[in-house]
Amino acid sequence: MSPVRVHIDTDPGLDDLLALAFALASPELSVEAITTVSGNASLEAVTENARRFMTLADAAIPIGAGAAGPLALSRIDATGFHGADGRRGVEIAEPAARAPLGSARELLRRSLGERGVERVIALGPLTNVAALVADEPELFANAEVVWMGGTLGSGNVTREAEFNAFADPRAVRVVLESGVRLRVVGLEVTERVALRAVDLNLAGARATARGRMLDGALRALFCAEHAFSGEPAAYLHDPCAVAASFAPGLFDFQRKRLLASDSEGRERGRLRVDRDAGHEVHYAVAARESALTALFLERVTEWASDARAAS
């Protein structure tokens, strides 16, 4: 079968970098374009991380810079977790030559139209996706959005809200109300898919620039999570969404109708089930945790040891 054509909208971000490596390492996917959005760090920082990663990956994939802030409400970031550079100082070499950046809106429009993208994998706030959905929903007629975000349980920013939903809840509301096909992989699942210290040697087994980046990102996640929650683990939040885009059988999904609270205050970013909401989404309620971590490690280790990876 031909690979699934995907567009990745992301805010790299440590686990975003891991997710990008996972996507490029997975033969089931053809990554057609990447767009960036403010989230884990400033738009400038996350876009720089995407550009550096693509150079490391030796991948000629177009990159477009998108929204520098949410559709509405105040802007937040996760620099306390990911660092001001979005990668806690993890070394990724600068590109020797910098191709011009495109517009995220135009690149996403082209992906859905000319390139026939079948899935948009959204790893950050839904700002870029929502902006296009609001104006041209017909572009998404043949595509599904796979989003890492939200929770119906305990949040990681407030008691009720996950970061990507909290960062731009108006965008979540726009996408939910649009009728676009949406598959949600939230904290209930991703907080159960984690790597432990014993796994680090696998991802850093090869002495290549890619291997060093992966090892550094995983170790940085361990340090950040330990400081944040006291748990020495690297949660594979964004790689889970990548897996859901080509191996949905690794998850259990239920059809749910959701509402998002898009006002300031303690309810900001909260998702809740409402039977009167307009459209059903596929919402992940469980995952094959050990199978996911094994698949991730297998794929990224092979990617790190590719002959094209600089030593």
Which sign, positive or negative, has the C-alpha torsion 168, 171, 177, 183?
A: negative
Q: What is the dihedral of CA 237, 30, 85, 195, to 10 degrees?
A: 30
Q: Identify the helix (H) or strand (E) that includes residue 261.
A: none
Active-site entry in 7, 82, 237, 282: 237
Tell me the pairing of strands 102-103 and 63-65.
parallel
Pick the closest to residue 53 from 10, 5, 107 (CA basis): 10
Q: Identify the helix (H) or strand (E) that includes residue 272.
A: strand 271-273
Tell me the pairing of strands 280-287 and 63-65.
unpaired
At 46, phi and psi to the nearest 5?
A: -70, -30
Geometric angle at alpha carbon 274, from 272 and 277, rounded to 5°: 115
Q: Do 284 and 245 touch, CB atoms closer than 8 A?
A: no
What is the layout of strands, in order, in the sheet containing 29-36? 102-103, 63-65, 29-36, 4-10, 119-122, 144-148, 181-185, 280-287, 251-260, 271-273
Tell me the pairing of strands 181-185 and 280-287.
parallel
Catalytic: 237? yes
- What are the structure tokens assigned to 154, written together? 């305990």
Q: What is the set of active-site residues?
A: 237
